[in-house]
Amino acid sequence: MGTWVNSAEILGSDLPLELTGTGNRRAVLMAALRDAVRSGRLAPGARLPPYRSLAADLGLARNTVADAYAELVAEGWLAARQGSGTRVAERAAPVTPVHRPRTPEPAARPLHDLVQGRPDPSAFPRTAWLASARRALAAAPDDAFGPGDPHGRPELRRALAGYLARVRGVRAGPERIVLCSGAAHALRLLAQVVGGPWAVEEYGLPFHRGLLASHGVGTRPLAVDADGALVDGLTRRDRAVLLTPAHQFPTGGPLHAARRAAVVDWARATGGLVVEDDYDGEFRYDRQPVGAVQGLDPEHVVLLGSVSKSLSPTLRIGWLVLPQRLVGPVVAAKGDREQWSSATEQLTLADFVESGAYDRQVRRMRQRHRRRRDQLVAALARRAPHVRVTGIAAGLHAVLELPPGTERPVVRAAARQGLAVEGLGDYLHPRAERAPHAGGAGAPVRDGLVVGYATPSEAGYPEALEALCRVLPAAGPCAAATPHPAAAASRSAAVPTPAPVSPPPPAAP
């Protein structure tokens, strides 16, 4: 017989079976089935289609397929039982490995995760969230299950307007709030609407700078000190400035009151926009609440917020509180259909806020994070009193100052011990000024570690702190000769007392 070629999909098994070869059709079919078993496409115990079905699919005579099945049963490749059909024998020949291109193995998870910005997922308030979800779904109007509104659900915008006015001193009604999927989405929308260039703090998230650059918005750095960004460096050419006024990220500390006023004056004089990233404005421990800059001038400041730190980043719910002139353009940039945040999750969050469950969750997490912060300070006082810790009056992370030239070696040593932690230099703007020091010209202005204390479990956190202390550089000769101070004394010396600040301004009537 000549060469015979046919191919078909075995019904019910999703197994491509290609019949190619010279000889009778029964032999070609048997060879194809043996190859399917060897390659693993037909696993031991897999059920084959009835011979009538396979014959129809392949265009073969029924007797041809029945004879092939019977012979493979006799050879031990297949097994047939009354009432259970024909299956691949459990003791069929060993599978020949299928050669596929090797893919990189996923990186092993660290033993201890002290990377900033990752709340402990076990802290999510499942019971309270479920109760809000049930109430929200029961009360949801029919239009909640239709095409979405790019503004976001009105129920959540109303709830957020009241909450932000009460807690953050924000002055805006629901009509000024546009919901989005988080701070990154908010920045994308603003980049499209506002254009560039933008000024940014010299220390900040590289991801945010890259996101702006991907939308054609260049950034230039503003120097940062203990009082936040030096906003006197702003110019008329800057279209916007991105700030973290409540707690400068990642160095810590609120933007000084005089600089808050100065940045608002700049925006009024130039028509520029202040973009306020309120990434952890709710988590303060050692000072009075600092109101949002937005409260000083709602027409020149945009406030960005989300639930990624207070609840979970997986919810993908954030918001922009906008000047009136930007609401329409931002909604237009977002599109005609809501594609980013689930309407049912928005309704659930609205109930969660209005029922008081969100306030309770924030208070609970604030207490938890403060305990974590205190454990970190105490561990450093015991094990590394020569290391100064800063930026801990608020937020979910601290900065550990290191001797010049030691940052990268410490980060590498931590990785070797299974400890995930980041260097302060990872957050420095590439165009920020650099100063030579003992580490050589071109080294970062400051050496340090950015230590997140929110992620580890309660049981694993003490061990994570021990691992951190093990990789810190030893004290110099002078520091080593100094007796270890008590934890409280170390803490008071390491954390300067901030100047008094005013509480948030009241909401507009």
Q: What is the pLDDT of residues 411-424, one digit of tens each?
A: 999 999 899 999 99
Helices (H), 217-285: 257-270
pLDDT digits (tens, 9 = 90+) for 145-167: 888 788 999 999 999 999 999 99
Q: Is the pLDDT of residue 442 over 90?
A: no
Q: Report helix, strand or coil for 135.
A: helix
Beta strands (DSSP E) in 49-196 are: 78-81, 85-88, 112-113, 177-180
Reference 30, options 48, 11, 56; nearest CA is 48
417-426 per-residue burial string, b: 16 or more CB within 10 A, e: under 16? eebbbbbbbb
Q: Identify the pLDDT of residue 324.
A: 95
Digit-coded pLDDT (tens) for 36-49: 888 777 888 888 88
State the DSSP code for 354: H
Q: What is the mean pLDDT of residues 4-26?
A: 55
pLDDT of residue 60: 84
Q: In the beta sheet, which residues pair with residue 113?
A: 420
Percent of the chain whose predicted confidence (pLDDT) is above 70? 81
pLDDT band at 12 (very low <50, low <70, confident <90, very high): very low
Among 84-88, 283-287, 356-360, the range scoring the smallest mean pLDDT is 283-287
Question: Residue 13 — pLDDT band, cuts 50, 70, 90?
Answer: very low
The whole-number pLDDT of residue 98 equals 44
Where residue 476 falls among pLDDT bands split at 50, 70, 90?
A: low
Q: Which of 226, 235, 294, 221 is nearest to 260 (CA)?
A: 294
- State the pLDDT at residue 427: 92
Top mean pLDDT of 78-82, 286-290, 374-378 is at 374-378
Q: Tokens for 472?
A: 């810190």
N- to C-terminal Cα separation, the chain: 93
Number of H helices, E strands in the chain: 15, 19
d(CA 244, CA 217): 19
- Indicate the range of 183-187, 270-274, 308-312, 391-395 predicted with least confidence: 391-395
Give percent of the chain with pLDDT exceeding 90: 49
Residues 6+ apart with CB under 8 A from 138: none
pLDDT of residue 217: 93
pLDDT of residue 493: 34
Q: What is the pLDDT of residue 504?
A: 42
* 407 three-class SS: helix
Q: How far is 222 from 242, CA to CA, in rounded Å?
A: 10
Task: Kindly report, residue by residue over 200-241, the tens digit of the pLDDT.
Answer: 999 999 999 999 999 899 999 999 998 999 999 999 999 999
CB-based burial of residue 63 (10 Å sphere; 0-12 exposed, 13-18 middle, 19+ buried)?
A: exposed
- Mean pLDDT for all residues in the chain: 82
| Distance, CA of 375 to CA of 468 (rounded, Å) | 12
Residue pair 282/246 in contact (Cβ under 8 Å)? The answer is no
Q: Is residue 372 predicted with pLDDT exceeding 80? A: yes
Model pLDDT, residue 32:
85
Q: 371 pLDDT exceeds 60?
A: yes
Q: Each residue of 323-333: pLDDT tens digit? A: 999 999 999 99
Is this prediction's pTM over 0.85?
no
Looking up tokens 């993908």 gives 316
Rounded distance, CA 191 to CA 216, Å? 8
Give 13 or 110, the one with higher predicted confidence.
110
Across the range 442-460, mean pLDDT stands at 81
DSSP 169-217: -----GGGEEEESSHHHHHHHHHHHH-S-EEEESBS-HHHHHHHHHTT-
Alpha-carbon gap, residue 485 to 465, rounded angstroms: 19
In degrees, rounded to 5, the angle at the alpha carbon of residue 20 between the alpha carbons of residues 14 and 22 is 150
Give dist(CA 311, CA 299) in Å, integer: 29
Q: Which domains does the chain have, with CATH numbers?
A: 3-88 (1.10.10.10), 125-358 (3.40.640.10), 361-494 (3.90.1150.10)
> Token digits for 7?
């191919």
Residue whose C-alpha is closest to residue 164's, from 152, 176, 148, 182 = 176
State yes or no: pLDDT of 489 exceeds 50.
Answer: no
CA distances from 194 to 177, 271, 296 (A): 17, 11, 21
